[in-house]
Structure 1
Amino acid sequence: MSTAARFPHAVTGRHVLLGLIAFFGVMFLANGLLVYYAVSTFSGGDRPDPYRSGLNYNETLAEAERQAALGWDARADYDGKAQRLTLQFTDSAKAPVSGLSITGTLARPAEKWDDRSIAFREWSEGVYVSDVALKPGNWVLSAESAERKGGPTVHRLKKRLIVPEGS
């Protein structure tokens, strides 16, 4: 009669099962956390209702053509020391464009808790300013201008601003 010797630290079926459960449990937990943070932090869209925007695509194209026909050029600059955002508008003849009512938003490209609405005032002929303190990093300025308060939008502007450290 032979007796098989049992090893005191042998791997049994129960050990394999517990190892597989632990491995896949950690994988499901890690994937679940990654999916949660991916979905909850950034929607991926830059418009609140992209479906409605798609339905109005022809109107959007017509508006872009009207804006291109104006021939305006807009430059944006941020002065960190003065904490002032400046927009400068010129027409196709390089003359300043005055009398606009400009509002807009400043947003981080991948975060939404730092977003803010801003209004510009005319500083001098064709130069519009808004006093705003910006943290260093990437910002996206989206602005709309109208010829008078409450009037139809005549120009849309979207510019990326990079605020350097220490400014």
Structure 2
Amino acid sequence: MTRRFTGWHMLACMVGFFGVVIAVNVAMATLAARTFGGTVVKNSYVASQQFNTWLAEADAQQKLGWKAEAEAIDGRLVIGAQSATAPLTGARVTAVAMHPLGRAADIPLAFNEAEPGRFVAATRLPAGRWRVRIRIERDGRAADYLRDVAA
């Protein structure tokens, strides 16, 4: 024997469907609000006006031929810097370690050259994932890099 599909059945289907949609939307909005660390840029219009300048700076950095790699060893950030032909010696290296989600304060880092082209931070990073903004300066030229490391 078959049962008839009544208005109550339709109501249950509609309430169930929209209940699931609303629950998923609330869950996603809550997760997004809890994990977003803040603004990317303060004013997107002003940032858009600087875009061509940023492209020119990136092109100039590319022409330098410098490369930088970052890794954390025993909590200390180690930067390996290379010029196009040899280790990048005699450079001034600074960095700022930022938590990817903005939950921890930024940590400024200063480096000492341990060996040619290898720079070791004077302070240790707390355990976790970090996004590191590195600046290398030598002979009046500079290059900026962004690397992700796990301490």
Q: Is TM > 0.5 for Structure 1 vs Structure 2?
A: yes
Contact 2:135-2:145 at 8 Å conserved across structures: yes
Q: Which has the higher Rg, Structure 1 or Structure 2? A: 1
Aligned match of 2:69: 75
Counterparts of residues 40-119 of structure 1 (less than 5 Å): 40-41=33-34, 47-49=40-42, 51=44, 52-79=46-73, 82-108=74-100, 111-114=101-104, 116-119=106-109
Q: RMSD across aligned C-alpha pairs, in angstroms?
A: 3.7
C-alpha distance in 1 between matches for 2:87 and 2:5: 84
C-alpha distance in 2 between matches for 1:27 and 1:139: 36
Task: Give the one of 2, 16, 19 matched to 2:12.
Answer: 19
* Pairwise CA distance, 1:44: 10
C-alpha distance in 1 between matches for 2:5 and 2:69: 70
How many residues get paired? Answer: 144
Contact 1:84-1:133 at 8 Å conserved across structures: no
Residues 1:49 and 1:97: Cα distance change in structure 2 (over 3 Å): farther
The structure whose RCO (Cα within 8 Å, separation 6+) is larger is 2
* Pairwise CA distance, 1:112: 3.2
Structure 2 unaligned segments of length 5 or more: list them: none
Task: Give the one of 18, 21, 24 matched to 1:31.
Answer: 24
Counterparts of residues 118-137 of structure 1 (less than 5 Å): 118-124=108-114, 125-126=116-117, 127-129=119-121, 130-135=123-128
* Pairwise CA distance, 1:65: 1.7
Structure 1 unaligned segments of length 5 or more: list them: 1-9
TM-score (norm 1): 0.63
1:61-99: CA deviation from partner (whole Å, max 9, x where unpaired): 1111221222212121211xx211111223233143324
**Helix, strand or coil for the counterpart of 1:105?**
strand
Contact 2:99-2:131 at 8 Å conserved across structures: yes
Percent identical across equivalent pairs? 15
* Pairwise CA distance, 1:128: 3.5
